[in-house]
A and B are shown apart, each in its own frame.
Chain A
Amino acid sequence: MATRARTKIATRPPADTVGIVGAGSWGTTLAAHVAGAGHGTILWDVDPAVIREIHAKHTNSRSLPKVRLDRAIHATSDLGELASATSTLVLAVPSTAMRAVVTALGPHVRADHLVIHTAKGLEARQRRADDQIIRDETCCKRFGVLSGPNLAPEVLAQQPSATVIASRYPEVIETAQRFFVRPFFRVYGSTDVVGVEIGAAVKNVLSLAMGFVAGMGLGQNTRSLIVTRGLAEMIRIGVRMGADPATFNGIAGIGDLIGSGMSRESANFAVGELIAHGRKVEAAMREVGHFAEGVPTADALHTLLERAPVDAPLSRGVYQVLYQGAATSEVLESLMTRPPTMETNAHPTA
C-alpha cells in the first residue's frame, strides 16, 4: 500500500500539495475541496482502515457516507511521507487529539512547512490554544488557524460559504487563499490568531447552550438572547486573551455562532439538545454519533477563566450542566434571575 501511495504522491510538487492530517468529516471535505480545484492532496489518518478504504474505493464511509471522493486524493498512514510530499499541512483533528497528533508529526516538520489548524477548542489540561501546541511540538513558525461557519456537508455540496484564515504571516494567508478559494468559497484573511481561536472555542461551548435551550422547547427569543449575550461573553473572553474585539463581529465570531452554533447539523447543538432531554453527556454523544468538541472545551475554558477571570456566566452555566450535574432549567433560572444590569460596558472583568 505504501509503495503505491508513494508513487502517486510524487506526481505534484510539494509547493502545490496540501497534506491534511485527520480524515474525519472536515479533513475529508477539505481534501475534496482542494482536489476539486486541481491541487495535490494527501490525507492522513490514524485509522489504517480509513486509509485503505480511500485507496481502494475512493470513499470514506466512516465520516462521509455515500460520498464519492476525487480519485486524485491520495491517502497515507505515514506522517513522514505526508510531510515530505508537502509544504503546507492542515491539521483537521479536534483539540482533544491535537497534542498527540502534532507530537507524532513533530519530527517530520521542516522549517519551510506552513501549518494551518482547524480545531475549535482548547487543550484541556494545559489550557493552551492549539497554535501553542504547534510551537511546542514542531519547528514551525509560520502557522495559522482556519475557522468559520463551515458545516462540512454544505461545503461539500458547494453551497456559498466563507471562512477566515488567521495568521501573523502573510504567506500563510496567501497560501490558504491559493488552496481554498473557490467560486463558492470565500477565504478572508486576518492577523488575529488568538481572536479566531477563541471565537471558535467559545462558539462550541455556546452551541451546547443553544442546544440546551432548543431541548427545553424554548423559542426564538431565548435563542437570540443566548446568541447576543453569548457574543458579548465571547468578546470579553477574547479581549482578555489579547484578541481584537472586531474579530468577533466577523465570520469566525458571530458568523460561526449563528451558523453552525444554531444548527442541529452541529454535534454540539445536537448533544446539548439531548442533554436537556435528560441524557447523560456520554450517552448523548453516542446517540448523535459524533464527538462534541464543546464538551472538553467547556472544561478547559472553565480552568482558563479561573486563571484569568472574566465575567462569563453562559460558559460557566454550560460547565455546571456538563460537569457538576446541574439541570439545564436550574442554570437558566439562575442566569435569568441575576440582578439587572446595563447591556454594554456593564461587565467589568473581575
Chain B
Amino acid sequence: MRALSPAEKEAVLIEVQSRVLAAKDALTERDPNFDLATVVNDALYHERRRLDTHRSSPTWKSDAAFWKGVSKRLSRASDRELRDILGSVIHRYLQEIIGNFDPKVYRVATKVIPYALSGLLNTMSPTRLLSGFDSLASLDDHLIVRGELDTISKLIEIGTVILVPTHLSNMDSPVIGYSLFKVGLPPFTYGAGLNLFTNPIIGYFMHNLGAYKVDRLKRDDLYKDTLKEYATYTLEMGIHNLFFPGGTRSRSGALERKLKLGLLGTGVLAYQNNLRNRKKKPKIFVVPCTLSYSLVLEAETLIEDSLKEAGKARYIITDDEFSKPGRILNFLRSLISLDSRIYVTFSEPLDPFGNRVLPDGTSVDHRGRPIDISRYVMSNGEVHPDEARDAEYTRELGDAVMRTFARDNTLLATHLLAAVLFQMCKERHPKLDLYRLLRESALQSEGFPLLEVHTRTERLLAKLKKLVKEEKVRYGEERLGWDAQAVVSEGLKLFGVYHTTPPATRRGDRVFPTDPGLLLYYSNRTLPYGL
C-alpha cells in the first residue's frame, strides 16, 4: 500500500463528499418525494438527540455549535444553500472518519505492534508477575494463525481484499492486526468505534493503526451513507479493508447469524466502479476469518447484556472488562500461563457475489468452473447499476460468509464442556424457561457426577470427530487428542482461572454449574452443529 500525502487525503475527502452529494442529487431527480431538506433535517434531528443524551462526548462543544449553525442556516435556505449545508455536514463527518488515517504511520505502526504489545504487558504489570518467560514470545506461541494464507498473499497482489472476521471481543482487532503481521500479510484498514480511541490502552494503537473512526452513536442515514462511500472508495484505491460483518461483538457468544449487509455491499459497489473506471485490478475479494478463544475477555458483560429483556439490551457497551486494564492483564496472563490458544483462521476467499475464488483470483461455481463475474453487473459492455440486485448479491455473499464461519469455526475444550454441562442443566429442569433455568441451575447443590460429564463429553467428541472429518467444523485441541477426560479437565482448568465466578467448578467427583450464564455463553459457540 502506498502512503497518501496530505494533499491526496484531501482529495479523498473531496471525492467521497462529491459522490455522496451526487447520489442525493440523483435521488432528488428520480423520486419526487425525496428532497435534500429532509436529509439535512434527519441528520439534524438525530445529531441533536445524540448531543442531548451524550454530553460527555469530547467533541460535544464544537458539534453543538456546528449543528446550531446548520439549524439557523436551514430555516431560510435556498436550494443552492441547502446543497451547501449538506456538503458541509458530509465534510464534517468525513473529517472525523478519516481522522488520523495515514497509511505511512499505519505501516510503521504494525511493525511496532509486537514490541508495543510486549511493552504493554510489562508496563501494566510488575515484572515479577510475568517472570520466567519472555512475554512476547509466549504471546506469539499462543496465537495460532492458519488457513488460506498463501492464497490471500496472492490475492492482495491481484485485487483488493475485504477481511470479514467473526466478532467476540475488543481484543479481536489487535489480535487480527498482529496475526496479519505474524504471517507477513500487509495491514488492513478498518473502522473502529470512537470509544476504542478513547480507551486508555487500546486507543494508543488505534490512533496509529490506520483505523478510521466510526461513531456508532450517529444514527442518521447521511452518516451511514458517508461511511459506506468512504469504505467503498478506499477499496477502489486498493486499500485492503477489514469489517466485522456482525456489526458488534456477539452478545450471546454464538457465531454471527445475521450480518450487516451495508458494509459487505461495498465490495460489489467498488467492483462496479473499478470496472467502469477501467482499473487494472478491478477485483474485490472477501476473506472470512474466524477467531476462537478458550476464554473471552468480556464474556460476563456480553452474556449478561444478551439475557436482558428485549429492548433493554445495549447496542454499544463501553464499561466492560475491556475498559479495565487489570482485567486485560489478568486475561492475558491466564492465556499464557495455562497454555491456552487463540485460533485465527483465514478461510477460502469469496467474490462479492458469494462465489468461491481460486488462488489466481478466478471465481468458480460449485462445480469448479470459472465464471466471468463481470457479467453479473454488465450488459452490452456497460456496467449496469441496480441497487435491488446488488442488495441480493450481497445477501448471497452474507450467506456464504456465514456458512464459511460455521465451517472454519474452531471448537475448544471450554465450548465443548460448556455444551455438555448446559445440556445437563436443561435436562435436570426440562420445564423451566431460560431465565428460571439459569437461576435454578446456579442454586442447585448436588452438581453433576464427573463420570457422567466424561461419558457425555466422550459422546459429543465422537459426533464432533465425524463433523471434523466432513470438514463441517474445526477442532482446536489436537494436542489433547479426542480424550474426553483431558478435554473436561482442560475446560475446568480454564474455567477456574479468569472469570469472576467460574462457569463451572469441580469439587471431588462432582461438577457444579457455578455460572450457568457463562456456560450458556460458551456453549452457544457449538449451536450450528447440533452436538
Contact = CB atoms under 8 A, between A and B. Distances in A.
A24 to B, nearest CB: 26
Contact of B388 (A137, A138, A141, A170): A170
Interface residues of A, number: 18
A68 interface: no
A136 interface: yes
B81 interface: no
Interface in B372-408: 372-376, 378-380, 386, 388-389, 392-393, 395-396
Interface residues of B, number: 23
A323 interface: no
Interface of B is mostly: mixed
A139 B386 CA distance: 19
A346 interface: no
Interface in A82-137: 87, 106-107, 110-112, 135-137
A171 B393 CA distance: 13
B392 to A, nearest CB: 5
Contacts of A170: 386, 388-389
B366 A136 contact: yes
B178 to A, nearest CB: 37
A106 B375 CA distance: 16
Nearest to B373: A111
B521 interface: no
B392 A168 contact: yes
Interface in A123-176: 135-139, 141-142, 168-171
B498 interface: no
Contacts of A169: 388-389, 392
Contacts of B371: 111, 139
A171 B386 contact: yes
Contacts of B243: none
Contacts, number: 47
Interface in A210-236: none
A241 interface: no
B365 interface: yes
A106 B353 contact: no
A52 to B, nearest CB: 31
Nearest to B371: A139
Contact of B366 (A87, A135, A141): A135
B30 interface: no
Contact of A137 (B354, B355, B367, B376): B367
A87 B380 CA distance: 11
B353 A141 contact: yes
A142 B395 CA distance: 12
Contacts of A106: 365, 367, 369
Given A110-B375, A111-B375, A137 B392 contact: no
A141 B378 contact: no
Nearest to B386: A171
Given A139-B365, A141-B393, A170-B389, A15 B353 contact: no
A285 to B, nearest CB: 33
A107 B367 CA distance: 9
Interface of A is mostly: loop
Contacts of B353: 111, 141
Contacts of A112: 375-376, 378-379
Contacts of B389: 142, 169-171
A159 to B, nearest CB: 34
B372 A111 contact: yes
A103 to B, nearest CB: 8
Contacts of A107: 369
Interface in B289-342: none
Contacts of A110: 372, 375
Interface in A262-295: none
Contacts of A168: 392, 395
Nearest to A140: B365
A28 to B, nearest CB: 29
A241 B306 CA distance: 27
Interface centre among A112, A137, A138, A171 (most CB of B within 10 A): A112
Contacts of A138: 365
A139 B369 contact: yes
B348 to A, nearest CB: 17
A262 B513 CA distance: 60
Nearest to B366: A136
Interface centre among A107, A141, A142 (most CB of B within 10 A): A141
A137 B395 CA distance: 19
A173 to B, nearest CB: 10
A-B pairs with lowest CB-CB distance, top 3: A111-B375, A112-B375, A139-B365
Interface of B: 353-355, 365-367, 369, 371-376, 378-380, 386, 388-389, 392-393, 395-396
20 contacts: A15-B379, A87-B379, A106-B365, A110-B372, A110-B375, A111-B371, A111-B374, A111-B376, A112-B376, A112-B379, A136-B366, A137-B366, A139-B355, A139-B365, A139-B371, A141-B396, A142-B392, A168-B392, A170-B389, A171-B386
Interface of A: 15, 87, 106-107, 110-112, 135-139, 141-142, 168-171
Given A112-B378, A170-B388, 5 more contacts: A111-B353, A112-B376, A135-B366, A136-B366, A171-B389
